[in-house]
Amino acid sequence: MTARLIIGALFMVGLWALVAKRNLVKKVFGLTILNSAAVLLFIVEAGGSGDGAPIMGGGQRIVDPIPQALMLTAIVIGVCVTALALGMAYRLYKATGSMDIEEIRKRLGNG
Amino acid sequence: MKARTPSAQVLTAVLCIAAASFALWPLATLDEAWPEGIRDYLESRGQDESGARNLVSAIYLGYRGYDTLGETIVLLVAVSGAIGMIGAAGSKLAPGYADAAQGQVPVAKPTRRVHRRTELIDVVTGKLGPVVLVFGLYVMLFGHVSPGGGFQGGVVVASGIVFLGMGSKGAGLSPLVGAGTLARIEAAGFLALLLAAGLGIVSGAGFFAPPLRGVSPVGYIVALNAVIGLKVGAGIGFLCIAMLGETER
């Protein structure tokens, strides 16, 4: 329960950055924090199902390896999303000369 | 649409957070036991069926090979997309990387560079690069028996490549840091992955299945890990080095 609440708080921090911050780079940070919160939630939840890492031969009851395999995918996709988002932010900066989302909207002429 | 005032923005954000908390609250109070059927199955049969003692490797290379193939394609597309977007914005990419972005990008000149880093970073990263590369290869090749695997090892290899790129002071670039080399390694890695996946079809075992029957499939897992690691390392290294071109000068 405590772990879930802390992860929830982390998720909210990411959401806050995504919604309230006007700087595009900080928005991308928020996206990354959201992704990390989701990854942590899966790992922590599955961690309750055993004692040892999911590697055979340790003699312990292993945790469920499926969430770990899924999160491996999620981390890679998260890196891809971050790289693309930063690329887009850079492109917007080059086009408008600003990282501020309101300023960009104004300068692109539909503000 | 008129620009939002800061207070309206904060109000929007607070409402968003409140709505998200309300929606996620059941998740925090959920009291279901973790389903253990699949865990027990993997614990008893996973190693024999896939050959990997590390059951995470067993899943993403043995049972769910398709996912891994899709994942590497996503990574490939993201790297090409990011390079294309940065290059098309008129950015200076590192020397040699302009070919990757259709050759119309002004390339940063290796001469006339301002040092924004201290000598210390140059020396330390240059010396540390090969060590990190070796560790990355270890993580990659021993992914079936210990924590690690192709993706994790690949990212370590990529950071080794970035170290080499940072430490080589522009002029004396290590050949490994060259755009052509990395792009070729990535392409060869992807081709090898497709070939390794297709081998099973030729021998009648099926797509993404170990091609030799009656032999322990552990060698197949090691081969897949190595191929994926090289591909991921070259891809992410390529992306980072290409981005370094702008900040370095």
DSSP B115-153: --S-HHHHHHHHHHHHHHHHHHHHHHHTTTTSS--HHHH
The pLDDT tens digits for B200-234 are 888 887 888 887 777 778 888 898 999 999 999 99
Answer yes or no: is B222 within a domain.
Answer: yes
Answer yes or no: is B62 within a domain.
Answer: yes
Answer yes or no: is B82 within a domain.
Answer: yes
Name residue, tokens 């940070």. A29
Answer yes or no: is B19 within a domain.
Answer: no
Contact between B34 and A57 using a beta-carbon 8 Å cutoff: no
Residues of A in contact with B15 (CB under 8 A): none
Does the pLDDT of residue B136 top 90, yes or no? yes
Query: Which range of residues forms the domain containing residue B143?
Result: 51-248
Count the residues in chain A.
111
pLDDT at residue B98 in the model: 53
ipTM: 0.84
Helix (H) and strand (E) counts for chain B? Answer: 8, 0
Answer yes or no: is B13 within a domain.
Answer: no
Which residues fall within 8 angstroms of residue A48, CB to CB, at 6 or more apart? A63, B34
The whole model's pTM is what? 0.82
Task: Identify residue A59 by its one-letter amino acid code.
Answer: G
Q: Using CA atoms, how far apart are residues B183 and B151, in angstroms rounded to an integer?
A: 17
Answer yes or no: is B179 within a domain.
Answer: yes
Answer yes or no: is B3 within a domain.
Answer: no
The pLDDT tens digits for B2-39 are 556 778 888 888 898 899 888 888 877 877 888 888 88
Q: How many domains does chain B have?
A: 1
Six-digit token pair at B88? 């098309």
Contact between B89 and A68 using a beta-carbon 8 Å cutoff: no
Six-digit token pair at B87? 């290059």
Confidence of residue B43 (pLDDT cuts 50, 70, 90): confident
Q: Which residue from B16, B46, B74 is facing A19, i.e. has the nearest CB?
A: B16
Q: Which residue from B12, B47, B90 is facing A56, i.e. has the nearest CB?
A: B47
Answer yes or no: is B38 within a domain.
Answer: no
Choose between B118 and B146: higher pLDDT.
B146
Closest B-chain CA to A15: B17
Q: Facing residues of A100 across strands? A: A23
